[in-house]
Structure 1
Amino acid sequence: MLYQRQRRAGQTIVQDAEPTPTEQTMAAAAEPDGVELLDTLLRALSQHSAETGRALPALRGARLNKNNFDTSPAAARDRDPWPPRPRRRARYAAAMKIIDLEPGDARLTADLLPVLLELRPHLTEELFLSVLEEGRGQGLRFSAAYDADGACVGAAGWRIVATTSMVRRLYVDDLVTSAGARSGGVGHALLAHLEQHARAARCTALTLDSATQRTDAHRFYFRERMAVTAFSFEKPLL
């Protein structure tokens, strides 16, 4: 029910046989997987809290839909422990250039790889070139974002994949902005660029995976109107 019933010890409270109109409206608007999504999001917040040593505030409530997750602190004086960073898209967006790098382009290793290493530190140039060679036949491509000074400030690895579930989708393997250019609109511009490719190829969706501990990235994806639609399962083999 929408309100709390109080009873004395041993007293039985009769529940209404039919839901109220308000309850029916709420049930109709509810997300089918809302409980699972809320559990995933709260677990991510809890893990971030444990890693940073910053306590979570007491919550009065939470609101969840497929694009956003909002919390309401128990007291007005409580502040969001991780307030959104100021948006400074104009810093890079006006003069940014995004280039799709073709196989064999020297900029793949000279410009893009140093940025990609911030996300994939295990890569070496030799391993990266090996992945490029094998991935080319699987549709793997890379796009690089350059600022007004010609420095590479963002990288995206992506491919268009045919699947039975979505028919055709654009999958983002890698999406990273260099540390000095974050919160400047680079990630937004790269996603918009990839969305144009997806629409031109008549894809039904643009999808990506994000590690559970990358809560800053999750907040960015929610702002970009992306939704948590599935769990990703992994079984290490090596």
Structure 2
Amino acid sequence: MIISLAKTEKEISDCFNLISQLRQHLTLADFIHKVKKMSESTGYELVYLNDDGIKAVAGIRMSEWLHSGRYLEIEELITDQSARSKGYGGTLFDWIFCYAKDNSCKQVKLVSGVSRENAHRFYLNKGMVFEAKYFSLNID
């Protein structure tokens, strides 16, 4: 089992099949373009767990807030549907937590859709707490 940051276009491309299970609107070309663009503008990184194939992928970025300091945000975290409940997501989450700590972050944060109850249980079991409500307003 190896956890790596996706640095090359091939590594980014290899993560697409899993990310597309969560972000179904993306094409491969759009995905590669957006990952490169977000990497340059926000420091977004893809991290993946390989165990005889990619089993879990996360999109992460670090930033800082006035009220809580430096943090790592998990933008997406997905375990392959055929590999769920085998510890891959938990192992990747633990790696991300250590990566955040090694990069002087004070918190790991994420936003999860209100309907994703299985994901909420997973995050609570990993020790995360529900600390805020997230609001949005579409601009059309």
Q: Does the TM-score normalized on the shorter chain lie above 0.5?
A: yes
Q: Specify the code of the residue in structure 1 equivalent to 2:46.
A: F
Greater strand percent: which structure?
2
Query: Among residues 131, 137, 146, which one is paired with 2:34 in the alignment?
Result: 131
Specify the alignment match of 1:113 in structure 2. 16
Q: Which residue, 35, 44, 55 being the options, matches 1:140?
A: 44
Contact 2:19 2:57 (8 Å CA) reproduced: yes
Name the CA distance, whole Å, in 2 between partners of 1:195 and 1:105. 25
Partner of 1:154: 56
Answer 1 or 2: which has greater helix percent: 2
CA distance in 2 between partners of 1:153 and 1:133 (Å): 22
- SS across alignment from 1:106: helix
Uncovered stretches (5+) of structure 1, i.e. residues with no partner = 1-95
Aligned AA for 1:128?
F
Q: Which runs of 5+ in 2 are unaligned?
A: none
TM-score scaled by structure 1? 0.57
Q: Give the equivalent residue in structure 2 for 1:101.
A: 6
Corresponding residue pairs, total = 139
How far apart, in 1, do the equivalents of 2:82 and 2:32 lie?
26
- Note if contact 2:18-2:80 (Cα within 8 Å) is conserved in structure 1: yes
TM-score normalised by length of structure 2: 0.95
Aligned counterparts of 2:98 and 2:109: Cα–Cα separation in 1: 14
Which of 82, 98, 110 is equivalent to 1:208?
A: 110
Alpha-carbon offset, residue 166 of structure 1: 1.6
Shift of 1:133: 2.4
Give the conservation status (yes or no) of the 8 Å contact 2:9–2:32.
no
Identity over the aligned pairs, expressed in percent?
27
